[in-house]
Chains A and B, each alone.
Chain A
Amino acid sequence: MTAYLTSLHAIVTREALRFIHQRERFVAALVRPLVWLLVFAAGFRAALGLSIIPPYQTYITYETYIVPGLCGMILLFNGMQSSLSLVYDREMGSMKLLLTSPLPRGWLLFCKLLGSTAISILQVYAFLAIAALFGITMPGWGYVTVLPALVVAGLMLGALGLVLSSFIKQLENFAGVMNFVIFPMFFLSSALYPLWKMAESSELLHDICALNPFTHAVELIRFALYVEWSGMALLWTVLAAGLFAAAALIGYDPARTRIGRRG
C-alpha cells in the first residue's frame, strides 16, 4: 500500500513543481475567465435577460450567472492543458518512466489525473476570490460545498484530456483539440446561457447541450455553489468520468497502443 501512496505523492509533487515553474500558465489560466467575467459579461448584461431558475431564488445579474461556467472553463482548459503536457512527456520520453514502472498503469494515470485536478481547483479558488473582490459573491458555505463538485468535474475533464492524449500522435495536432473539443464543449453547454434560452433558438442545439457532459459539470458546480443538491448533474458527470477513464485505460493499454514509438 505504501508504494501506492509514495508514487501518488511523487506524481502530485511533480505536477505541482512543474506548475510553479510555469507561473505564466497560472496567470493565463486566471486572465481568461476574468476577461469573460469582467468584459464579456458586462457587455452582455443588457442583452440577456435571465429569469429566475433554480438554484437562484431571485433575479441575478449575468455576471453572477456565468461564474460557475467560468469555473468549469478553468477545469476544461486545464484538463486539456494536462493532456497537452502528457503528449509532450511522451515526445520527450519521460512518459516512458511512468509506463515502465512496476505499479499498475491505471493507478499511475489516476495519480496524474489527481495531481492536475488539484492544481485546477487551486486556480478555480483564485478565480472565485478575485470575482468576490469585484463584488460577485456566493453564499458563504457555497465556497465549501463547491469543493467536491470541483473534484468530480475536474476528474471528469482531466480523464477526457487523458483519452485525447492517448490518441493525439503529435504535439502539433493540439490545435485541433482547441477547435473540436474545447470550443464546442464550452459553447454547447449551459456555461454562458441557460438551456431554456438555447431551446428558444433551436431544439436540436438544446438537445446537444443537454447531452454534453460539460453542461452537467457546470450545473453541478452551479448548484453546489448555492449549497444545493443536483443528483442528475452528479450522476451524468460521474458516468462521463467513468466512461472517459475506461477509454483512457484502453488508450494506454500496451497491447493496443504504440506509445513510445516516437523516440
Chain B
Amino acid sequence: MTGLEAQGLSYAYGPKQALDDVSFSVAAGTFCALLGPNGAGKSTLFNLLTRLFVAPSGTIRIAGHDLRAAPRAALAELGIVFQQTTLDLDLTVLQNLSYFAALHGLSGRTARSRIDAALEQLDMRERAGEKARSLNGGHRRRTEIARALLHDPSVLLLDEPTVGLDAAARASITDYAHGLAGQGKTILWATHLTDEVQPDDALIILHRARILATGTARDIAGDTTLQDRFLTLTGAAA
C-alpha cells in the first residue's frame, strides 16, 4: 500500500516553472527524504501536497485518498510541519495544541488525552504551560511535531524541520522522525542536508523542478558518499 503518491505534478509561477511533471510514491511506513538544493521546488511541492495550491494537472493521493476528489478525507490523514514556525507565540504550548485539535474537530477529554500523549512522546509535557515565545528553536519544533501528530495522521510531511537548530536538537528530531516511520507512519522529510538521510531511507532528489533520482539512499549513493553523489548529480544538472 502506498502512503503518499504524486502523479504528473506541474506548477509554474508565471513563466517560471517550479515543478515539471513530478511523479513519485512513498510506501506506507517508510521514511522518505526529499533532497534538493534551495530553489529546487521542495516548498512548492509541499504547498501542492497540503492543498495550499492546487496543481493544474496531475494527481495526489494521501493514504489512498485523492486530494482533489476527496480533499477533506485526504487532509485528515495528513500531519504537517511547515518550514516556518506556525505557532501563535502569545499562546501557551497547551493553547496552541488545543486550537489545532479543535481545527480537526477534537475537543474535551479526547483532545486533552491526545495532547498529553503527544507532549509526553516529545518530552514536552512540563512545558505545556509555557508561552511559545519563551521556547527555544528545538522546543518550538518539538511542539509543532507534537501538534502535527495530534489527529493521528498516517502521513507526516516535514518541510526542512531542522533549519536553525543546533546539532543535538537536529539529531534528536531526525531520529525521532525515523522512529515514527518504524511505527507505521509515512514520512516525507524535505531537506538539503545529506547527513539527515540514513542509508536505508527512501530518497527522492529534486533539482530545478524535476526529479533526478529515486530509490534507497544506499543505491543512489552507490560506491561514493551520498553527499558526493548529490553534488555530482545537482552539479551536472546545473
Contact = CB atoms under 8 A, between A and B. Distances in A.
Interface of A: 2-4, 6-7, 9-11, 14, 17-18, 21, 92-94, 96-104, 108, 254-255, 257-261, 263
B72 A104 contact: yes
B102 A97 contact: no
A11 B103 CA distance: 8
A260 B50 CA distance: 10
B1 interface: no
B90 interface: yes
A254 B164 CA distance: 30
Contact of B102 (A6, A21, A92): A6
A37 B72 CA distance: 49
B90 A96 contact: no
Interface string B58-96: 000000000000011101101010111111101100010
17 contacts: A2-B107, A3-B104, A3-B105, A4-B105, A10-B99, A10-B107, A92-B84, A93-B86, A96-B52, A100-B51, A100-B52, A103-B104, A255-B54, A257-B53, A259-B52, A260-B53, A261-B53
Given A2-B107, A92-B86, A108-B103, A102 B73 contact: yes
B53 to A, nearest CB: 6
Interface residues of B, number: 33
A20 B171 CA distance: 39
A96 B86 contact: yes
Interface string B11-53: 0010000000000000000000000000000000001001111
Interface centre among B52, B53, B54, B103 (most CB of A within 10 A): B103
Contacts of B54: 254-255
Contact of B80 (A100, A103, A258): A100
Contact of B88 (A3, A94, A99, A108): A94
Contact of A263 (B53, B73, B83, B100): B83
